[in-house]
A and B are shown apart, each in its own frame.
Chain A
Amino acid sequence: MKQEANDRADKSAISRRELLKMGAVGGLGLFLGAGVMKGFDIVDNNKPAASMLTNANGIIPFYGRHQAGIVTPMQDFVCMGAFDLTVTDIAEVRKLFQDWTAASARLAKGEGVGEESNNALVPPVDTGETIGLQPMSTTITFGVGPSFFDDRFGLASKRPSKLVDIPAFKRDELVEEWSHGDIIVQVCANDQQVAFHALRNLARIARGKAVLRWLQQGFQRAGAADPKGATPRNLLGFKDGTNNPNVADEETAKQIVWAQAEDGAPWMDQGSYMVVRRIRMRIEVWDRTALGEQEATFGRYRDSGAPLGATGEFDPADYTKLDKNGKPVIPADSHMAIASMGGKVKIHRRGYSYSNGIDLKTGQLDAGLLFICFNRDPLQQFIPMQTKLAELDRLNEYIEHVGSGIYACLPGVKEGGYIGDTLL
């Protein structure tokens, strides 16, 4: 089968050790037999962090079968912006996506957004803060929200049935200014300035056509801070992502991540549905919570990340094991127990921590998780999972969901085409 450039880039970013492990995963999947898809629940805890890979400063091609930034190993930083269109003519939207495509292909290569002129009487074409900097594995990923399909552009009939309005979940505290948007642009890079630069220039290109609705930057521990690439920790101090499916495996990614033509919207073939939740953590409350309660909340030991009652991070969780009082060692309402969904429902999480200073009203830290996930069918994946979490998760005491968005991340684009050309 022909490998597109993007896939190649993702593949090339996988270490020899990972490849060996993937072989083992395949074998294990067969051995387990009952596994719906091979590779689930198995993550190599020795894989280097994305930003420490040989290509950390390099180029991830913008063009490809899939958009980059979805199954691409996570970079250190994200800069994510939601836009609302101010134009009503679809030709202008098309022009915007064409201009964005040209700019993004250059940004991925570490170039400015366009050729500079020497005319001192006009502003520079590019804003300049990345002059002399490496490409830093920049990926730029575009998606469109449900409002893109309202009556403004005549696209209502093209709205995929999978692009549902996210239902209101129990305990949601959503605010409009952190939710929705006609278009989402996710920029990831191994340098914060490089990531910001890309979004800033895309926003500039959009002026007169689209305005920023919200913008959130995020981070994880840098690759340099963790050369071994252990599972990253969230701001509550716990490892987060241990059970992420191995989307480097093509079949796994197809099952979990990539929309297929036969799913009902042919123009979305090889795209993916992204859900973003801005989840604020009640940092101060968590900080005064006893270790035992913290671990019971996650269902894991803080230090090792092992499921309670086990020793290694990747040991299987035993939900039947009882303590001396006859209670489950892993509480049934722990985050891990609820999120595991009996091993049947999987999403590909690609979230980042965020910190936005302090809440001026309370003086408390405004920090948390910019939850980002990709799935092939939100109705079968994200929504049932979040419904259950919102209902039962013990972690809810320490978090609140303040922002929400769902977006159809467009299929990858071939050189000469433009982002969204299958839709527009």
Chain B
Amino acid sequence: MLNPRISLTAPILGMALLVSACGNNASAPANQTTDAPATATAGQQAEQPQAANTTDSEQFQDAVKAYHQFVIAQTDQFVKDTQAFVDAIKANDMEKAKALYAPSRMYFERIEPIAESLGDFDPWIDAREGDVPANEWKGFHRLEKALWQDKSLDGMAPVADQLLQDVKMLRVKVEGVEIDAPMLVTGAVELLNEVSSSKVTGEEERYSHTDLYDFAANVEGAYEIFKVLQPTVEAKNKELAAEIDKRFKELDATLQPYRKDSGYVLYTDLKEDEVKKLSQAIDALAEPLSQIGTVVEG
């Protein structure tokens, strides 16, 4: 059983272990709807033909399988933690809901590119105020505002119910998601771009300031992709694989001082030069990581 607390404190290098420990736990929730298997669209962004001998290789197919298992396991846990968060909201237990908010979101942040490829899950689950028309705004950040800004959960029960429903729907969809090579190799960098654009700037969690949870989860998600591709990258370019691995470790070390109890310090506790260091560590990693697409070449 995946323990969410462990994933918050364990360095990212522990993620692979966590994943393999819960890989067989991918059962669908009981109230599963009967949609046809979803097809990812992210793969369309790269139109050039893929050289067959790399992406059709057993090694690469194993990577895709392993990553799919990871996505399913994360989404399983996402449903469970969201359930607990939603229960706290509906019980009007503000303190409990606040405590559960950031950790439960991390499962989504780890697999965000997959969720985004499956339709409107990102705006439903993760839209920030202003991302969507005000009357359509729902999901985690709507509840974040209620908890930290409005300090009232009045009228939030339907939002909570809808969130849980959307998360369960996501769980159903990831079961059949088709993960292809472009999706994997661009997904890793997309996760780090998420960090650069909104997490390291403190824009993602404007009320709760729990941005570092998302930061860490995005990095963990990117690391998982690298992990499954690592043998393929190594076979192709040993130096690149070693550099990426090293930069992941350096980023992990950069993040280490901000781990606190079972989570992370608030974004507002960071000093300016600390934010800069974190941002530069992301850039240092994302640049070589953006080269893993070379594994798709012939």
Contact = CB atoms under 8 A, between A and B. Distances in A.
B296 A119 contact: yes
Interface string A186-207: 0000000000000000001001
A117 B247 contact: no
A207 B297 contact: no
Contacts of A122: 290-294
A118 B291 CA distance: 13
Contacts of B186: 121
A410 to B, nearest CB: 25
B293 A211 contact: no
A121 B296 contact: yes
Give the most central of A120, A123, A204: most B CB within 10 Å.
Answer: A120
B4 interface: no
Interface string B268-298: 0000000000001001110110111110110
A86 interface: yes
Contacts of A207: 283-284, 287-288
Interface residues of A, number: 13
B284 A208 contact: yes
B48 interface: yes
B182 interface: yes
B275 to A, nearest CB: 13
A25 to B, nearest CB: 50
Given A119-B297, A122-B293, A208 B243 contact: yes
A123 B290 contact: yes
B114 interface: no
A208 B248 CA distance: 11
A121 B284 CA distance: 19
Interface in A110-145: 117-123
Contacts of B181: 121
A86 B186 CA distance: 26
Interface in B204-243: 243
B120 to A, nearest CB: 26
A204 B291 contact: no
B287 A204 contact: yes
Contact of B182 (A86, A118, A121, A211): A121
Contacts of A117: 294, 297
Contacts of A119: 48, 293-294, 296-297
Contact of B48 (A86, A118, A123): A118
A355 B47 CA distance: 44
B40 to A, nearest CB: 15
A368 B297 CA distance: 50
B262 to A, nearest CB: 30
A120 B284 CA distance: 22
Interface in B47-66: 47-48
User: What does DSSP make chain B's interface, helix, strand, loop or mixed?
Assistant: helix
A204 B291 CA distance: 13
A86 B253 CA distance: 14
Nearest to B276: A211
A200 to B, nearest CB: 13
Interface residues of B, number: 22
B6 interface: no
B147 interface: no
Interface of A is mostly: loop
Contacts of A121: 46, 48, 181-182, 185-186, 293-294, 296
A209 B48 CA distance: 32
A123 B284 CA distance: 15
Interface in A195-234: 204, 207-209, 211
Q: Which of A86, A117, A121 has the most CB of B within 10 A?
A: A121
A120 B48 contact: yes
Nearest to B243: A208
B188 to A, nearest CB: 11
Interface in A78-122: 86, 117-122
Contacts of B46: 120-121
B226 to A, nearest CB: 15
B102 to A, nearest CB: 29
Contacts of B293: 119, 121-122
Nearest to B50: A121
Given A86-B280, A119-B293, A208 B288 contact: yes
A274 B172 CA distance: 64
Contact of B280 (A120, A123, A204, A211): A211
Nearest to B287: A207
A173 B97 CA distance: 50
Interface string B127-159: 000000000000000000000000000000000
Contacts of B294: 117, 119, 121-122
Nearest to B186: A121
A117 B287 CA distance: 16
B287 A208 contact: yes
A204 B181 CA distance: 26
Contacts of A209: 284
Nearest to B296: A121
Contacts of A118: 48
A415 B290 CA distance: 30
B193 to A, nearest CB: 12
Contacts of A208: 243, 247, 284-285, 287-288
Contacts of A123: 290-291
Contacts of A120: 46-48
Contacts of A211: 280, 283-284
B47, B181, B186, B291, most chain A CB atoms within 10 A: B291
B222 to A, nearest CB: 15
A79 B287 CA distance: 23
A423 B214 CA distance: 44
23 contacts: A86-B280, A119-B48, A119-B293, A119-B296, A119-B297, A120-B46, A120-B48, A121-B181, A121-B182, A121-B185, A121-B186, A122-B290, A122-B292, A123-B290, A123-B291, A208-B243, A208-B247, A208-B285, A208-B287, A209-B284, A211-B280, A211-B283, A211-B284
Interface of B: 46-48, 181-182, 185-186, 243, 247, 280, 283-285, 287-288, 290-294, 296-297
Interface of A: 86, 117-123, 204, 207-209, 211
